[in-house]
Structure 1
Amino acid sequence: MPKINQLESLKVLKAVVEGGSFTAAAKRLNLTVARISKSIERLEFELNAKLFIRSTRYMQLTDSGERTYRHGVKLLEQWRGLTDELTETLDKPKGKIKISIPMSWGLSVFSTVLAKFMVKYPKISIEAHMSDQYVNVIEGEYDLVLRLTSKLQDSSLLCKKLKTYKFMTCASPEYLSKHGMPMIPEDLKNHSCLVYSQQGSRLKWQFIKGSKKTDVYIKPHLQSNNSTLFRETLLAHQGIALIPEFVVENDVLSGKLIPILTDYSNQELNLYSLRAADHMLSMRLKLLNDFIYDELT
C-alpha cells in the first residue's frame, strides 16, 4: 500500500472520532465517504493497528484508536501552532479566527466591537457564526466561543468571564399610557407580553424582591428565540418585554422606552469566552480576546 499523507489522515481520524461516523466526518471535511474510508484504512496499515471495530450497525474505537486519536490531536495542534508562529508576528498579525457568538448580543454589541477590531487588524480574517443555541467548541472546531448564560456548566474548556448584563422589563410611554403601568409582576398577565423562549422552555418570567421570588406564567403576544426582534415591536407600542439591557439601553436613555417594575430584579446574564484547553493560543486570538475584554470593560 502506498505511503499516506499522515497529516491529512490524522485530520480524518479526528473528524471520524468526534463525528461518530464516516458520513459525519465526510460532511465536516467536505470529502467523500470513500475517501474517508480509504484514509483510515491506510492509516491502519501504516500503524499496523486496528483503529475501529466496524459493523453494519455500529463503530467502536479500539484502544489503539483511542491512543492514536489522543496523540493525533496534539500533533495537529502543534502543527497549527507551528504554522501560526511562522506566518504571524506581533507587528503584522494575520490569519483566520473562527468564532461563535450569541445572536442578539452579536447584533446589538459585537458587531460594533468586531468592526473596530477589523479596522485595527486588517490582515486577520474572521469567520463568525451567530446562534443562541449551545455550540460545541471542540466538535465545531471553534477558536473562540462567546456564551451568554445565567450559569455556566462545568467544563474542561478555558473560560474567562467578560461581562455581566441585567434584564430589564420595559415598554414604550405610548403603550403604558394606553394600557396602564404594571405595579406588581402579576399585573403582567393583563398585558401584551413579548417573550423570549427556546424550544421546549417554559413561558415564565421570574422577579426577585429581597428574598422572595415571584414566577409569572405568560401567555405571549409575541414569542421568539431572538430578543432583538422585540425591539422594533416595543418601539411600535405593541407590548412589554423582559429583555437583556444591551438590546434596548440606547432606547431607554433616549426615553423611547421606559423601565417598569424597577423595585424587582431578575436573573443576570454572564458573558464568557471559551476555548479549548489543549489548543495553543495564537497571537491573533489573544489580540481578539484582549480587544473584546477591553471594549466591554
Structure 2
Amino acid sequence: MDKLSVMNAFRRIVERGSFAKAAEDLCVSPALLSREIKLLEESLGTTLLTRTTRSMSLTDAGRLYYDEATGILSAVTEVESRIRDGAGAVRGHLKVNASSSFGQTVIAPLLPRFLASYPDLRLTLSMDDRVVDMVEGGFDVSIRIRSAMPNSALITRKLGSIRQRIFASPAYIEKVGAPRDPEDIRNHRVVGFLLADHLNAWTLQGPAGKITIELDPPVRVGNSLVLRDLLINGQGIGTLPDFVSNAPEARGQLVRVLPDWELPAPEIFAVTASRLGMDTKVTAFLDHLRAALRA
C-alpha cells in the first residue's frame, strides 16, 4: 500500500464528502477507493469513516488521521516545491517572531547584513513579549527564552544560554545603598518583570548555595527595555538578561548588585513547526543569529 497515495485519497474523500466525487477527482473507481480505505482501516485496527447509504462521517480516529495526513502531505508538497525551485536557494517569505527586547537588541542589528546576503528574501519580524501561537500566526520560526520548553508538537532547537543578574543605577546605590545580602533585597524598591516566572520570587544561586526571596514589586512592567530604562533612571533594583544589560553596564549606567549572586540561566530556543526539518531561509536566519550570539 502506497501510504502517501492512500493519505491523499483519504483527504480527498473527507474534503469532498463523497467516495464518488473523490474518485472522479483522482480518476479512479469508487470501488478502488473503498478497497484502499478498508485496507487502511485494517492496517490501523480502527474505523476512520462511518458510512450509511445517505451520509458519511469521521470517527475520532478518522479526524486525527485526517489532520495528521493533511500536515504530512502539505510538508511533502513544500519540500518538493523547494527542491524544484532550486536546492539551497534562500527566497520566499520568512516570518519570525521574538520578544520585543530580544528582537530589538539582538535580531535587529543583524538584519541589514542578513537581508543584504539574500536579496530575494521577504521578511516579517513580529515582536511580542507574550508567547504567541506560531502555527496560527503563520510564523516560520519563533525565538523564545525560557528555562525549559514544554512538550509539544513543535520542534525546538537550543541556540544558547543567557545570564540573568541583578542591577541598579549608580545614583540609586549612592542614595539608598546596595543590598548587603539576598535577604536585604526585601528592604529595597524592586522593579519586576511582569511576564517573568520570577516576578514574585527570586531564586538566587551564590556562594552560600541557593536561596529564594519572596517579593512584592511595587513597580511591574511587561518589557525588559522599559525595565532597563527605569533602573538606569534610579527607580530601584531589578533583574535583566545579559543581552539587555551588557551595553548600559559597559557605559556605567548600570552596576551589578550582589555580583556573586544570579538567577538560573534561561535558554534561547528556536521553535519551528515543521516535522520535516527547517527550510533554507530558516536555516540561513538561524546561522546569522548564532553568529550574533557568539559575538
* TM-score normalised to structure 1 length: 0.75
Change (3 A) 1:110 1:252: same
Q: Are the aligned partners of 2:169 and 2:234 in contact in 1 as well (CA < 8 Å)?
A: yes
Matches within 5 A, 1:21-36: none
The number of residue pairs the alignment matches comes to 255
Percent identity (aligned): 22
Decide whether aligned partners of structure 1 residues 214 and 252 sit closer, same or farther in structure 2, where only a CA change above 3 A counts.
same
Match status 1:101 vs 2:98 = yes
Q: 1:245 to 1:51 in 2, by over 3 A?
A: farther
Q: Mapping of 1:76-225 within 5 angstroms?
A: 76-88=74-86, 90=88, 93-198=90-195, 203-210=200-207, 212-225=209-222
Q: Secondary structure at the match of 2:239?
A: strand
Determine if contact 2:192/2:199 at 8 Å carries over to the other structure. Answer: no
8 Å Cα contact 2:206-2:260 kept in structure 1? yes
Structure 1 residue matching 2:107: 3-state secondary structure: helix
1:255 aligned counterpart, secondary structure: coil
Distance in 1 (CA, whole Å) between partners of 2:230 and 2:61 is 57
| Higher alpha-carbon deviation: 214-223 or 249-258 | 214-223
CA apart distance, 1:110: 1.3
Using a 3 Å threshold, how does the CA distance of structure 1 residues 106 and 228 change in structure 2: closer, same or farther? same
Assess if the C-alpha contact under 8 Å between 2:163 and 2:241 holds in 1.
yes
Offset from partner CA, 1:6-49 (integer Å, 9 cap, x none): xxxx9xx8xxxxxxxxxxxxxxxxxxxxxxxxx99852224489
Cα gap change, 1:242 to 1:201, in 2 (>3 Å): closer
Task: Please state how far the C-alpha of 1:139 moved relative to its aligned partner.
Answer: 4.2
1:72 corresponds to: 70
In the TM superposition, residue 72 of structure 1 has moved relative to its aligned partner by 1.9
Residue 265 of structure 1 aligns to a residue whose secondary structure is coil
Structure number with greater Rg is 2
Alpha-carbon contact 2:155-2:275 (below 8 Å) kept = no
Letter matched to residue 44 of structure 1: G
Taking a change above 3 Å as real, the CA distance of residues 232 and 144 of structure 1, as seen in their structure-2 partners, is same
Separation in structure 1 between the aligned mates of residue 98 and residue 261 of structure 2, nearest angstrom: 29
Determine if the alignment matches structure 1 residue 44 to structure 2 residue 17.
yes
Give the C-alpha shift of residue 189 in structure 1: 1.9
> Bigger shift: 276-285 or 159-168?
276-285
Shift of 1:156: 4.6
Deviates further, 92-101 or 138-147? 138-147
- Cα deviation, 1:82-118, whole Å, max 9, x if unaligned, reads 333333554x521111222122211221111233211
**Partners in 2 of 1:250 and 1:161 — Cα distance?**
24
Partner SS, residue 208 of structure 1: strand
Counterparts of 2:49 and 2:169, CA distance in 1 = 62
Q: Is the 8 A contact 1:251 1:257 kept in 2?
A: yes
Cα root mean square deviation, aligned: 3.0
Give the Cα–Cα distance (whole angstroms) in 2 for the partners of residues 234 and 117 of structure 1. Answer: 33
Q: State the AA in 2 paired with 1:267.
A: P
Q: CA deviation at 1:251?
A: 0.8
- Aligned in 2, Cα 1:279/1:61: closer, same or farther, shift over 3 Å? farther
2:112 match: secondary structure: helix
Query: Counterpart of 2:255 in structure 1: which amino acid?
Result: I
Q: Distance in 1 between matches of 2:73 and 2:257?
A: 56
- 1:101 corresponds to which letter in structure 2? A
Q: Which whole-Å CA distance do the structure 2 matches of 1:148 and 1:165 have between them? A: 9
Q: Name structure 2 gaps, 5 residues minimum.
A: 1-7, 23-29, 31-36, 38-47, 52-56
Q: Does 1:242 align with 2:239?
A: yes
Give the SS at the match of 1:262: coil
| Aligned CA distance change for structure 1 residues 230 and 201 (closer, same or farther; 3 Å) | closer
Q: How far did residue 192 of structure 1 move?
A: 1.7
TM-score normalized with structure 2 length: 0.75
Name the structure 2 match of 1:3.
none
